[in-house]
């Protein structure tokens, strides 16, 4: 953009009220500012991949493009904040964000842990580095995630699993205790879960108010009544395809897809006021 005279400094100098969103790969400062980048590169470079995967396996890329999507969200949030400020000051600004900065934020928890003496992150599969038990357990009919995220929930879980004494066991009373003794506790929970159907165990956990969820496949979550109730799947204009809509509603109404993707030059007349859409 700078080579064409449309960089942020030149453009905002000509148009002081302009809000200019500048999204890059590695950021607007530093020795790598002009290097290109893509989702997997950023997950690797930022340390995210090193913390993802199973402890006995290789590191893994996060399945969703959280860096790409997150950077777009930060740009939109930044633009909205700049619009709000412009309403008071009358001045625009440059909103800078990048894939690398987004990836660094997502890796922030692991970085703080390391900088405060917690060491490099250990891969926990579906588990959590600090909360125990807070992961998937194999049942006789498939995996079920159990999230006993505090001491009160763990005491309830112990009751459901038929071992109320765990709730007062000095090894497991607090989450810190459980985290320190995860190698003892988790196999015991896993053994009980393995002998139970996930449907039966989930029903008991739900009744006790303990958060849990089966690991759905894509077809299962598409067919789930909760997905259907939200009405988030929307027919795409122009093609016979349903797409996932915006994950936000206004006064209970979700914004709908208004049109399909434009062809080259389709919106020129509307944007530039020209008669010939191809100009």
> Catalytic amino acids?
128
SS (H, E, C) the chain: CCCCCCCHHHHHHHCCCCEEEEEECCCCCCCCCCCCCCHHHHHHHCCCHHHCCCCCCCCCCCCCCHHHHHHHHHHHHHHHHHHHHHHHHCCCEEEEEEHHHHHHHHCHHHHHHHHHHHCCCCCCCCCCCCCCCEEEEEECCEEEEEECCCHHHHHHHHHHCCCHHHHHCCCCCCHHHHHHCHHHHHHHHHHHHHCCCHHHHHHHHHHCCCCEEECCCHHHHHCCHHHHHHCCEEECCCCCCEEECCCCCECCECCCCCCCCCCCCCCHHHHHCCCCCCC
């Amino acid at each position: 953009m700078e080579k064409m005279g449309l960089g942020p400094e030149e453009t905002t100098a000509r148009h002081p009220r302009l809000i200019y969103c500048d999204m890059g790969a590695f950021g607007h400062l530093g020795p790598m500012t002009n290097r290109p980048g893509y989702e997997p590169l950023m997950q690797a470079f930022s340390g995210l991949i090193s913390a993802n995967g199973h402890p006995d396996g290789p590191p893994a890329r996060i399945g969703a493009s959280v860096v790409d999507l997150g950077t777009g969200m930060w740009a939109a949030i930044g633009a909205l904040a700049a619009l709000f400020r412009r309403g008071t000051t009358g001045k625009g600004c440059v909103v800078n964000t990048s894939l690398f900065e987004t990836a660094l934020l997502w890796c922030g928890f692991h970085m703080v842990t390391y900088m405060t003496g917690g060491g490099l992150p250990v891969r926990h599969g579906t588990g959590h580095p600090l909360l125990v038990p807070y992961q998937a357990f194999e049942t006789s009919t498939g995996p079920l995630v159990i999230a006993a995220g505090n001491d009160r929930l763990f005491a309830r879980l112990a009751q459901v699993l038929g071992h109320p004494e765990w709730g007062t066991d000095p090894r497991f009373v607090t989450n810190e205790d459980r985290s320190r003794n995860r190698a003892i506790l988790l196999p015991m929970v896993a053994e009980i879960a393995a002998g139970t159907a996930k449907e039966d165990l989930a029903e008991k956990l739900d009744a006790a108010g303990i958060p849990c969820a089966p690991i759905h496949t894509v077809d299962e979550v598409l067919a789930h009544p909760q997905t259907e109730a939200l009405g988030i799947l929307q027919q795409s204009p122009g093609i016979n395809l349903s797409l996932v809509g915006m994950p936000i509603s206004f006064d209970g109404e979700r914004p709908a897809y208004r049109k399909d993707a434009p062809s080259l030059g389709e919106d020129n007349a509307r944007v530039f006021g020209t008669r010939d859409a191809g100009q």
